[in-house]
């Protein structure tokens, strides 16, 4: 068998090859490449999928995050609460505006520990950024209550959790703004960079639309100093194709993860768990092991690639040394960084590939 990779983007393309190719030709032949009908239709379709009033397409997930905080007026002197164990883009979305991230430890589901948020609120706290990490919805009940109680903005980093729900409500609709990435490896992926925000607030949607296009509502009349962060027509077209199949794609991943949950048996590993009331759309299947590094090497030697999400938590990265947070300041976050491992998971994963991954992990 050829080596099993942690992810196979080619498989996701070939599943709907004809539709993707037809869409590419349609857009190329249309003569309209930026902010046209594909973007408009995708925004409407995705807003309706998420159950939000508005969706505004942007150039990437990081852009969605920093533009969200910019539109909310959060910047220098302000603090934003975020979990310690996230992809560094979550944190950059905060610091690109000059605001300071205040880290909270994760719970056993890898999401922010809601019971540890309140102790971090100061007079400077302006917002909470929840990250629905690996595809599982965060504990939104207490988080929404806390934000109301302390009059804080709530922003959701939904880059890994398109379609996940908490108590039946889709993520991306709980707060002021939901930030999505459509990077190719995400559950709803484009064939290049792409992102979006969702919101129920008319003004936030309008301000974001203006901001993404050089701050102009009407061509050459610029209201604010904005950015160029537009979603391309061709990517929006590809996203419409993928979105139309997202439920079946999610079901396929769920079936693979059900096998993993039922058939992986090894005392040296801990399987992921799902919070009551939350759904998981399995962006990653993340196991924990004290023997993580040995396991990773053993699997690699046996033709199975795995990946660590993420080996260095943001507060220990070189980029954030200026925050002055030393090793030991977030013990749970740091422990996760040393023990988590994402095993192969992708649409189009064959039964033989699944069998082999299960067999080899069980033999470790
Ligand atoms: C992928 C990702 C982002 C950034 O998205 P890009 O489109 O790559 O800029 C932000 N947050 C999380 C949690 C992500 O996984």
Closest atom of ligand 1 to CA, residue 182 = 7
Kindly tell me if the per-residue pLDDT of 199 is higher than 90: yes
Q: Which of 335, 284, 240, 195 is nearest to 6 (CA)?
A: 284
Q: Is it true that the peptide bond before 162 is cis, omega within 30 degrees of 0?
A: no
Pocket test for ligand 1, best of 59, 68, 89, 137 (most atoms within 8 A of CB): 89
What span, in angstroms and rounded, lies between the C-alpha atoms of 139 and 111?
Answer: 8
Note whether 208 and 71 are within 8 A (CB): yes
Contact 6, 343 (CB under 8 A): yes
- The atom number, within ligand 1, closest to the CA of 93 reads 10
Ligand 1 atom nearest to 63, measured from its CA: 9
Q: For residue 16, how far is its CA from the centre of ligand 1 (angstroms)?
A: 24
Average pLDDT over residues 56-74: 98
Find the 221 Cα to ligand 1 centroid distance in Å. 32
Give distance in angstroms: CA of 25 to centre of ligand 1: 28
Question: Which among 317, 335, 314 has a CA at the least distance from the CA of 94?
Answer: 314
| Top mutation candidate among 172, 183, 192, 307 for ligand 1, by most atoms within 8 Å of CB | 183
Structure-block tokens of residue 254? 């769920």
Residues with CB under 6 A from ligand 1: 60-62, 86-87, 89-90, 131, 157, 159-160, 181, 183, 193, 195
Residue 294 pLDDT class (50, 70, 90 cuts):
very high
pLDDT one-digit tens code per residue, 248-272:
999 999 999 999 999 999 999 999 9
pTM assigned to the model: 0.98
Residue to probe by mutation, ligand 1, list 57, 59, 61, 193, most atoms within 8 Å of CB: 61
Of 59, 85, 90, 282, best ligand 1 pocket probe by most atoms within 8 Å of the beta carbon = 90
Q: Are 159 and 129 in contact (CB under 8 A)?
A: no
Q: pLDDT at residue 218 above 90?
A: no
CA 218–ligand 1 middle distance (angstroms): 30
Identify the three-state secondary structure at position 21: helix
Q: Could you give the CA distance from residue 137 to residue 178 in angstroms, rounded to a whole number? A: 12
Residues in the chain: 364
Residue 352 neighbours by CB distance under 10 Å:
10
Determine which residue's CA is closest to atom 2 belonging to ligand 1. 159
- Residue pLDDT, tens place only, 113-171: 999 999 999 999 999 999 999 999 999 999 999 999 999 999 999 999 999 999 999 99
User: Does pLDDT of 318 surpass 90?
Assistant: yes
């Amino acid at each position: 068998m050829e080596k099993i990779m942690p992810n196979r983007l080619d498989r996701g393309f070939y599943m709907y090859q004809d539709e993707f190719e037809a869409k590419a030709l349609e857009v190329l032949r249309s003569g309209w490449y930026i902010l046209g009908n594909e973007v408009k239709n995708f925004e409407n379709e995705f807003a309706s999928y998420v159950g939000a009033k508005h969706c505004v397409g942007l150039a990437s997930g990081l852009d969605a995050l920093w533009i969200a905080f910019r539109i909310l007026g959060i910047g220098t002197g302000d603090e934003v609460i975020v979990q310690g164990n996230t992809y560094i883009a979550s944190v950059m979305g905060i610091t690109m505006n000059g605001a300071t991230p205040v880290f909270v430890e994760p719970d056993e589901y890898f999401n922010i520990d809601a019971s540890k948020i309140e102790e971090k609120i100061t007079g400077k706290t302006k917002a909470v950024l929840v990250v629905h990490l690996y595809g599982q919805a965060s504990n939104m009940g207490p988080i929404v209550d806390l934000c109301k109680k302390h009059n804080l903005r709530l922003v959701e980093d939904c880059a890994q959790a398109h379609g996940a729900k908490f108590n039946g409500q889709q993520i991306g609709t709980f707060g002021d703004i939901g930030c999505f990435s459509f990077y190719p490896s995400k559950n709803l992926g484009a064939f290049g960079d792409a992102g979006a925000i969702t919101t129920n607030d008319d003004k936030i949607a309008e301000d974001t639309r203006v901001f993404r296009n050089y701050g102009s509502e009407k061509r050459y009349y610029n209201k604010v100093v904005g950015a160029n962060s537009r979603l391309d027509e061709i990517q929006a077209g590809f996203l419409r194709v993928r979105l139309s199949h997202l439920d079946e794609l999610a079901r396929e991943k769920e079936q693979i993860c059900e096998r993993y949950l039922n058939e992986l048996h090894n005392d040296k590993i801990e399987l992921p768990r799902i919070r009551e009331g939350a759904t998981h759309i399995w962006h990653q299947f993340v196991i924990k092991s004290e023997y993580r590094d040995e396991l990773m090497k053993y699997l690699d030697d046996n033709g199975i690639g795995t990946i660590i999400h993420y080996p260095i938590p943001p507060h220990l990265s070189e980029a954030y040394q200026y925050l002055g947070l030393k090793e030991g300041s977030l013990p749970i976050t740091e422990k996760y960084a040393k023990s988590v491992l994402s095993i192969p998971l992708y649409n189009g994963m064959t039964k033989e590939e699944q069998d082999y991954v299960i067999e080899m992990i069980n033999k470790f």
